[in-house]
């Protein structure tokens, strides 16, 4: 399976790395990509964390501060959790 064995968060774009190493952008993307299953697991954990904080009664702004993300991202995570049927029963209250 292609992808990085030990993926790390990037410090440069694929285009920058391609120019630096004399490879195509697509080759760099393929070599350094996070394995899909790892990405999906990490995304699910972020959605679950947002849902848990919301169920504790935190407002979007408070969740954003706790997770180090924007309030817009909080909204997206909660929306995605609902779409993936991961939303808890008491998470209908907004802001």
Each domain of the chain, given as residue ranges in start order, spans: 1-34, 37-95
DSSP sequence for 32-94: HPPPHHHHHHHHHHHHHHHHHHHHTT--HHHHHHHHTS-HHHHHHHHHHHHHTT---TT----
**pTM (2 decimals)?**
0.67
Distance (Å, whole) CA 22 – CA 33: 18
pLDDT tens sequence for the chain (95 residues) = 455 555 556 688 999 999 999 999 999 998 888 888 999 999 999 999 999 999 999 999 999 999 999 999 999 999 999 999 987 655 444 55
């Amino acid at each position: 399976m292609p992808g990085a064995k030990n993926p790390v968060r990037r410090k440069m774009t694929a285009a920058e790395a391609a120019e630096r190493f004399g490879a195509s952008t697509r080759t760099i993307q393929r070599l350094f990509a996070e394995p899909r299953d790892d990405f999906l697991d990490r995304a699910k954990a972020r959605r679950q964390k947002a849902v848990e904080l919301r169920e504790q009664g935190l407002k979007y702004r408070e969740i954003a501060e706790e997770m180090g993300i924007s309030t817009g991202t909080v909204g997206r995570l909660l929306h995605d959790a609902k779409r993936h049927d991961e939303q808890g029963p008491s998470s209908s209250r907004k802001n």
